[in-house]
Structure 1
Amino acid sequence: MTRRLPSNPPNLPGFAFVRVLGSGGFADVFLYEQNMPRRLVAVKVLLAEVVNDEVRQMFQAEANLMAQLSSHPSILTVYQASVAADGRPYLVMEFCSSSLAQRYRAQPVPVSEALAIGVRIASAVETAHRQGVLHRDIKPSNILTTAYGHPVLADFGIAATLGQLEHADSVGVSVPWSAPEILREQVPGSVASEVWSLGATVYSFLAGRSPFELPGGDNSSSALMARIGRARVPASGRVDVPRSLEQVLLRSMHRRPESRQGSALEFARDLQAVEDELGLAQTAVEIAVDDWAATHGIDLDERTLVTGTHAIPGAATPRRSRRRSTPAGSSTVVRSADAGVHTGTGSSGSRRRLWIVSVAALVIVIVLAGVAVLLIQGSAGSPSVAELRSTQADGTLTFDWDDPGLGAGDAYLVTIDGVAAPAQRSTSIVLEVADRDRVCATVRVVHDGRAGAPSPETCVDVEEPAG
């Protein structure tokens, strides 16, 4: 099929056309130079032949969604939206020189970078979900790279709010990165399908191809859809990809939606656990704090980790007012109704102020000490698993344990014979052990994105099957 030529760039006041960036089914993207402030911007312009009331409303909805979400550091920034003189709506966005789709097929993305990208984009997706918005087109070509190398999620053109999904029409999908239930048109979109797309995207960065693409084989849409439906995800083929990461991606692309990570945040947590296992610096999950934090003066710059459904600020030293204190022994001027102006030291007013300042300082010290004690107790009180139990039956070995008091954002990290399994919230794990003689396991609680102390190692000699 012959690709169409891009439309003519519109004349936009305050902008000078530079070149064409790309073309799609409904819009073209052009590079312009904005006059004031002077900068390069990407301008997405709807095609004249597709503009009608419905499309115009969709485009306006995209502009509004992007504007609401683009303050997130991993979502493309939108500057403005309007309608050109020829009637075509347009969107002015941050210019990103490349997408990751242009890179991962040329050379594999390092494991550490793929993990970091996955955590950041999952943070963006989680942020959108908390605003009630599904992206519905997560894939490598929609992850752009800023001038500073930061990945950002773009193109919310087919996004839908969670409340509208039951009335949503079918939309075009990107087959290689779409969940099986989307391809079967069972649902127009869901949190679970977005988790599938996140997993498929990270897999693509590692493998240099989409998950169900066969090098040199039949990769038509129908063939890909059939393989996606069977959900037999092949290994990435890279020796430097740890088994734990392969398991995280397998879980995210499970055929049954309920067997995947329960949210984009949980997917990000699984990736963080792999970073922790590999000894990498953990990529922070970036999710907006509640209004409570803003109104209580929490320093957002010192926020490092997110747990559960809320951001947890880092312990910050309270800001102190910059008052100039009077040096000891200096003269103090005190006004008296009887004596006019008297200059001296150690006056009653001075002592009173000194007493007030001393009491205030003591209160601050006591408060800070209490906060420190609470922080230390909170750290020391992180839940941990005391012991593991084991049960064998029909070629399987089950380890289970008691819940030590898992928090909303916590998870278990199970290590089997030195290999970490994907993070989970279930208090048991079932293993196929038909070809194994002995299995050893430990369990750690991932709390605030960090793995705690492991449980005592439990080793089990595998019994021969009866008969």
Structure 2
Amino acid sequence: MSRRVATQAPDLPGYEYQRLLGSGGFSDVFLYEQKLPRRKVAVKVLLTDELDQQSRTQFVAEANVMAQLSAHPYIVTIYHADVSADDRPYFVMEYCSGPSLAERYKRERLPVEDALRIGIRVAGAVATAHAAGILHRDIKPANVLTNDFGWPALTDFGISSALEEELPVHTTTFSRREAATAVPNDSTTRQSVGLSVPWSPPEMFEDDPKPDVRSDVFSLAATVYTVIAGHTPFEIPGRSNGTLDLIGRIERGAITPIDRSDVPRTLVAVLAKGMASRREDRFATAVDFARAMQRVEMELGYSPSGIEVPNLVSSARPERETADSGDETMVRSVSTVLAQKPAPPAPVAPTPPPPSAAARVPNPSAASAPDAEATRLRGMPAVAAQTPAPASEHTVIRSSLVPAPAADPPVVEELEEPPSKRRTGLIVGILAAVLVVIVAVVVAVALVPHTSTPKPAAHSAGGDDGTIQVSSVPDPKLKSAVRSADGTSVTFTWTNPKPKAGDHYEWQQEGTTHGAETTNTPTATVTGLTPGSAVCVDVRIIRSGVASPNPLKACNP
């Protein structure tokens, strides 16, 4: 397919032409230097050939969409829109001097850390568009540029649409029937208007496609895969990769395995979920996809990248009925998206009554504290002061309360006790010392990690009403069981309903003789399978040497 010749750059007042940046199906992009303020800008000019009202309307819509979203740090900023002297609509936008992701992945495979950071930042841009009711519908490496700061910048909203709208009139889809007549082995350059096949979800190949936010999630996951693998997700090196071949693999969900040893299995599972054939199996939102990538960052020891999603204020907000409302400074907050939702604080266990010795020693400081706090301080066992447990994120460390010395201690007249009482006191003291030693030994044994295979067990504690309260390690819950494209491996992923620091997992493939394997992440991959064969694993949560009582049995298929 031959490329068309670019049109001549228009003469724009206040701008000096530099050079051609690129050409698309409906427009050319030129580099200009703006005179005031002085800066380099990119100018997108609509073609005049066969210029109809629909094309003009769509061009104006793109300018309005980008203007609405251009405050986002990872979306290309638009500065101005107008019509040139030769009657060609154009708009002036931010010039991104760096290479696009399409240029970068063709030169080299991006490091995992860079790919995750870029993916999370672009996901925030996509989520912002979705929050404004806009689908991008053409997310791909070529539409993610790099600005002067080295940040990704999402662009080309030319075929975007509102969530409740139908596809634009000029946008055509690429059905299987049309793909049969496409040029073979042209997967990376051949595309119909509004559809980039290698990164498109299967619903876009239907006769009446109805994309939604999960369609953009698919394309975003496919883009992240591409920059990591160095090729598109459904392209098999050395094989036929024509349009019909790609559509068939996309519809079957036959993702090509990533040939990199530094890519963790958890990231492979996240990308596979993002590119699931059924949109119901994908991440529901771009923020959910970004959160999953944040968790991979933390697993690898990286600081989680921020998900930039500002609060969008409805245009239908009523005006403030105050005389000076025009002079008010309006403060708009920014949403902070966490990698994981914070765990609820652990319930406070019932405390034993205070010892009799503490009852005889006055403590004015403790008495002045709130009742709940004083109860917790008085109920602290002696061993906790010697070996304190590590503080969690929700733990507040308070300063200890020191009893104030009495001004005039009372004078106590010492009376000699009878010999029988002295012997009784001695025996009681010895028994108390023995009891303290036994308790210390039990606590020490409990703190030593067990090396043998843990047994399912439950801990019991007495309630205030005399009943027995039993709490055990939670049972894992299956999240997914995804088979690789070649059918020789299956990745199982599960969840820990009530995670605690130090939790890890044991899993074992059924029907094997070797022992269980241990992992710190809730995922396991079974390899060396025969395509189509069934495989099952048993999974337990291990907490302080105690295993969950009911193992998770997960199978595929």
For normalisation by structure 1, the TM-score amounts to 0.69
Q: Secondary structure of 1:439's match?
A: strand
Which amino acid is the alignment partner of residue 73 of structure 1? P
Match of 2:221 in 1: 199
Q: Secondary structure of 2:45's match?
A: strand
Please give the per-residue CA displacement for 1:164-222, whole angstroms capped at 9, x wherever unaligned. Answer: 13786643200000001112244242111111101100000100000011212212212
Match of 1:245 in 2: 267
Q: 1:184–1:437: structure 2 CA closer, same or farther, 3 Å change rule?
A: closer
CA distance in 1, matches of 2:95, 2:476: 55
Match of 1:215 in 2: 237
Q: Is the 1:170–1:188 contact (alpha carbons within 8 Å) kept by the matching residues of 2?
A: no
CA distance in 1, matches of 2:20, 2:309: 34
Please give the per-residue CA displacement for 1:423-454, whole angstroms capped at 9, x wherever unaligned. Answer: xxxxxxxxx99667763447xxxxxxxxxx99
**Equivalent residues in 2 for 1:182-331, closer than 5 Å:** 182-289=204-311, 305-306=337-338
**Equivalent residues in 2 for 1:376-415, closer than 5 Å:** 379=394, 387-388=474-475
Which amino acid is the alignment partner of residue 109 of structure 1? L
Shift of 1:421: 5.0
Instruction: Flag the structure with more relative contact order, 1 or 2, with Cα contacts below 8 A and sequence separation at least 6.
Output: 1
Q: 1:76–1:290: structure 2 CA closer, same or farther, 3 Å change rule?
A: closer
Q: 1:27–1:419: structure 2 CA closer, same or farther, 3 Å change rule?
A: farther
CA distance in 2, matches of 1:399, 1:23: 44
Shift of 1:161: 0.2
2:133 maps to 1:147: no
Q: 1:390–1:124: structure 2 CA closer, same or farther, 3 Å change rule?
A: closer
Q: Secondary structure of 2:235's match?
A: coil
Shift of 1:461: 7.5
Shift of 1:295: 7.8
Q: Is the 2:34–2:41 contact (alpha carbons within 8 Å) kept by the matching residues of 1?
A: yes
CA distance in 1, matches of 2:494, 2:108: 42
CA distance in 1, matches of 2:240, 2:147: 35
Q: Secondary structure of 1:245's match?
A: helix
Match of 1:57 in 2: 57
Shift of 1:51: 1.9
CA distance in 2, matches of 1:4, 1:390: 56
Match of 2:34 in 1: 34
Match of 1:83 in 2: 83
Q: Is the 2:29–2:45 contact (alpha carbons within 8 Å) kept by the matching residues of 1?
A: yes
Q: Secondary structure of 1:66's match?
A: helix
Which amino acid is the alignment partner of residue 18 of structure 1? Q
Which amino acid is the alignment partner of residue 267 of structure 2? L
Q: Secondary structure of 2:107's match?
A: coil
Please give the per-residue CA displacement for 1:240-293, whole angstroms capped at 9, x wherever unaligned. Answer: 00000000000111111000000001000100010111110110110003659x
Q: Secondary structure of 1:274's match?
A: helix
CA distance in 2, matches of 1:71, 1:462: 47
Which amino acid is the alignment partner of residue 253 of structure 2? A
Match of 1:418 in 2: 519
Match of 2:414 in 1: none
CA distance in 1, matches of 2:477, 2:220: 34
CA distance in 1, matches of 2:208, 2:544: 42
Unaligned runs of at least 5 residues, structure 1: 310-375, 406-412, 423-431, 443-452
Shift of 1:420: 3.6
CA distance in 2, matches of 1:147, 1:462: 50
Match of 2:360 in 1: none
Shift of 1:388: 1.1
Match of 1:131 in 2: 132
Q: 1:390–1:380: structure 2 CA closer, same or farther, 3 Å change rule?
A: same
Shift of 1:233: 1.0
CA distance in 1, matches of 2:544, 2:8: 63
Q: Is the 1:178–1:197 contact (alpha carbons within 8 Å) kept by the matching residues of 2?
A: yes
Which amino acid is the alignment partner of residue 118 of structure 1? G
Which amino acid is the alignment partner of residue 28 of structure 1? D
CA distance in 2, matches of 1:275, 1:99: 23
Please give the per-residue CA displacement for 1:24-48, whole angstroms capped at 9, x wherever unaligned. Answer: 1100010111111111111110111
CA distance in 2, matches of 1:223, 1:233: 12
Match of 1:74 in 2: 74
CA distance in 1, matches of 2:329, 2:339: 20
Q: 1:438–1:181: structure 2 CA closer, same or farther, 3 Å change rule?
A: closer
CA distance in 1, matches of 2:550, 2:55: 62
Q: Secondary structure of 2:120's match?
A: helix
Q: Secondary structure of 2:49's match?
A: helix
Q: Secondary structure of 1:112's match?
A: helix
CA distance in 1, matches of 2:141, 2:308: 20
Q: 1:386–1:82: structure 2 CA closer, same or farther, 3 Å change rule?
A: farther
Which amino acid is the alignment partner of residue 519 of structure 2? G
State the aligned residue count. Answer: 362
Match of 1:359 in 2: none
Shift of 1:456: 6.8
Match of 1:111 in 2: 112
Q: Secondary structure of 2:165's match?
A: helix
Q: Secondary structure of 1:164's match?
A: coil
Q: 1:236–1:457: structure 2 CA closer, same or farther, 3 Å change rule?
A: farther
Give me the CA root mean square deviation: 3.8
Which amino acid is the alignment partner of residue 150 of structure 1? W
**Looking at CA atoms only, which structure, 1 or 2, has the larger radius of gyration?**
2
Q: Secondary structure of 2:218's match?
A: helix
Q: Is the 2:283–2:289 contact (alpha carbons within 8 Å) kept by the matching residues of 1?
A: yes
CA distance in 2, matches of 1:246, 1:42: 36
Please give the per-residue CA displacement for 1:114-157, whole angstroms capped at 9, x wherever unaligned. Answer: 00111000100000001000000000000000011000100000
Identity, % of aligned positions: 42
2:461 maps to 1:439: no
CA distance in 2, matches of 1:105, 1:134: 27
Q: 1:389–1:266: structure 2 CA closer, same or farther, 3 Å change rule?
A: closer
Which amino acid is the alignment partner of residue 214 of structure 1? I
CA distance in 1, matches of 2:129, 2:333: 23
Q: Secondary structure of 1:48's match?
A: coil
